[in-house]
Structure 1
């Protein structure tokens, strides 16, 4: 099994601001506030967390082909 990547760059779909975040391995982020425009991001339909919707890397459970805590 491939090593799990814990760093992902979240990009706000409203203003384009990007920031690298470390993904937790024991919890999901269902909300994320953009530091620039203060928009509260929520996962897109059928995505389990903000990393799966707006990140460069999917969350650790999805990378490991396991159910995410939001599903």
Structure 2
């Protein structure tokens, strides 16, 4: 539960450089602005207009976006 609404906390991040995928648990109290790919070590940053790496590269958007609260 997040802000009284049910949200999905597991997201699969896909590296745009090498295609490596990894399941991650998203934090509910902060955005992740940087993420390092375990395979190729590329440092991912959110795309323009996105608030975090989960919104840009994840299979599920971050908790605040899921509940309609806007950016983290």
TM norm structure 2: 0.91
Tell me which stretches of 4 or more aligned residues in structure 1 moved more than 4 Å.
Answer: none
- Report the secondary structure of 1:8's partner residue: strand
Aligned residue in 2 for 1:12: 15
**2:36 counterpart of 1:33:** yes
How far did 1:37 drift?
0.2
Q: Which runs of 5+ in 2 are unaligned?
A: none
> For residues 42 and 27 of structure 1, what CA distance do their matches in structure 2 show?
15
How many aligned residue pairs are there? 69
What do you get for the CA RMSD once the two structures are aligned?
Answer: 1.2
> For residues 5 and 31 of structure 2, what CA distance do their matches in structure 1 show?
21
How far did 1:2 drift?
5.5
TM norm structure 1: 0.93
